[in-house]
């Protein structure tokens, strides 16, 4: 402690100490100003496609908490393609998913969350899922959601991108299944498909700092004019970024610690503390159905 005090007394140390609040303020101002150019998804009937119970909390918390805001007038539903039964506790994890979704703000979870348990779709770290089967399951699920939602059909998918955040084959399969559905099922090509951006591992664990990195890279890559236009197919935003405040971050952690209690092994504490996906999501509109 005395050494730290002595450093602060030096002109250089004092200058650094005084500059820190200014740098943090600049970081926050820049990040928030850039996020404001990415129009939020609004007035949509959304189906979040996930592979396992806890995906919604570990990867999509900022998105879910933002989209359920009444001001955006969205309907948010979740389709989970397995019960996560790799360790034989699938029945427990089903219940945990409902609890987590409720914590994150999804309303009427018994009707808004569909959990599938097809024998050909197994929770596995090594197996990919057949895209045609996934498309069939998507079709059946959307029919159920339409019935539960007063006849209003899903018009927006949100799922993992081709990197699957962690290259998990189940995650990656969902994108292929969603694209297969949009390509091959009649009158479904007007559904928007947004994917969650996968970042390199050295950015995955810098928490909120990656919001600054992402917005800076986005500005450099796209330039000011394209970012400000921000609209893609049918007037929908080309991208959407969601940054949680402190309360949202704590809610995301609660969805894991109180919702998915069975999954809170030691390394997940590191994830819910350090992962950028617990506090920041950036989604991209996918217009390539190849």
pTM of whole model > 0.85? yes
Q: Which residues pair with 243 in a beta bridge?
A: 280
Smallest CA-to-CA distance from 115 within 97, 133, 139 is with: 97
Q: Tell me what percent of the chain is helix, strand and coil, each rounded to the nearest 5.
A: 55, 15, 30
Q: What is the pLDDT of residues 216-273, one digit of tens each?
A: 887 777 665 444 445 555 667 888 999 998 999 999 999 999 999 999 999 999 999 9
Q: What is the pLDDT of residues 147-167, one digit of tens each?
A: 777 778 899 999 999 999 999
pLDDT category at 19 given cuts 50, 70, 90 is: low
The yes-or-no verdict on residue 134 having pLDDT over 90 is yes
pLDDT at 219: 73
Rounded average pLDDT over 12-21 = 55
Residue 196: phi, psi to the nearest 5? -80, 125
The yes-or-no verdict on residue 13 having pLDDT over 80 is no
pLDDT at 5: 45
Residue 218 makes CB contacts below 8 A (sequence gap 6+) with: 34, 227, 239, 282
CA–CA distance, 183 with 253 (Å, rounded to integer) = 37
pLDDT at 32: 57
Q: Is 170 left (phi over 0), alpha (psi -120 to 50) or beta?
A: alpha
The yes-or-no verdict on residue 84 having pLDDT over 70 is yes
Q: Classify residue 264 by burial, with Cβ atoms within 10 Å: 0-12, 13-18, 19+.
A: middle
CA–CA distance, 244 with 266 (Å, rounded to integer) = 24
Q: Which residues pair with 283 in a beta bridge?
A: 196, 240
Rounded percentage of the chain residues whose pLDDT exceeds 70: 80
Evaluate the CA torsion angle 162, 163, 166, 169 in order and state its sign.
positive
Q: Tell which CATH classification among 2.60.120.380, 3.40.50.300, 3.40.50.10320, 3.40.50.720 matches the domain 26-285.
A: 3.40.50.10320
Sheet (strand 156-160) strand order: 113-115, 75-80, 45-50, 156-160, 192-196, 280-285, 239-243
Smallest CA-to-CA distance from 181 within 147, 132, 145, 142 is with: 132
Q: How many residues does the chain have?
A: 290
What is the helix (H) or strand (E) element at residue 240, kind and residue range? strand 239-243
CA–CA distance, 235 with 248 (Å, rounded to integer) = 28
Q: What is the chain's mean pLDDT, rounded?
A: 86
Place of tokens 């450099």: 220
pLDDT at 234: 61
Evaluate the CA torsion angle 159, 160, 162, 168 in order and state its sign.
negative
Q: Would you tell me how many other CB atoms lie within 10 Å of the CB of residue 90? A: 17
pLDDT at 149: 74
Higher pLDDT, 89 or 258: 258
pLDDT at 57: 98
Domain definitions of the chain by residue range: 26-285
């Amino acid at each position: 402690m005395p050494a730290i005090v002595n450093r602060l007394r030096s002109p250089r140390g004092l200058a650094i100490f005084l500059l820190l609040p200014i740098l943090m303020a600049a970081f926050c101002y820049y990040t928030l100003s850039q996020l404001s150019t990415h129009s939020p998804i609004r007035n949509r009937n959304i189906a979040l496609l996930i592979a396992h119970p806890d995906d919604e909390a570990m990867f999509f918390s900022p998105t879910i908490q933002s989209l359920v805001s009444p001001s955006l007038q969205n309907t948010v539903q979740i389709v989970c393609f397995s019960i996560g039964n790799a360790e034989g506790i699938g029945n427990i994890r089903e219940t945990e998913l409902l609890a987590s979704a409720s914590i994150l703000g999804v309303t009427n979870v018994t009707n808004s969350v569909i959990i599938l348990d097809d024998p050909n779709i197994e929770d596995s770290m090594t197996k990919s899922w057949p895209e045609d089967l996934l498309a069939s399951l998507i079709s059946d699920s959307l029919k159920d959601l339409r019935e539960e939602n007063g006849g209003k059909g899903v018009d927006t998918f949100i799922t993992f991108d081709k990197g699957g955040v962690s290259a998990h084959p189940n995650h990656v399969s969902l994108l292929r299944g969603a694209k297969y559905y949009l390509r091959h099922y009649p009158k479904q090509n007007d559904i928007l498909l947004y994917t969650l951006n996968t970042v390199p591992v050295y950015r995955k664990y810098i928490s909120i700092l990656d919001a600054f990195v992402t917005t800076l890279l986005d500005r450099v890559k796209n330039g000011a004019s394209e970012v400000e236009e921000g609209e893609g197919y049918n007037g929908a935003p080309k991208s959407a970024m969601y940054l949680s405040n402190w309360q949202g971050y704590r809610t995301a952690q609660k969805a894991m610690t109180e919702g998915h209690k069975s999954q809170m092994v030691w390394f997940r504490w590191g994830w819910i503390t350090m992962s950028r996906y617990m506090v920041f999501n950036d989604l991209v509109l996918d217009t390539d159905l190849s």
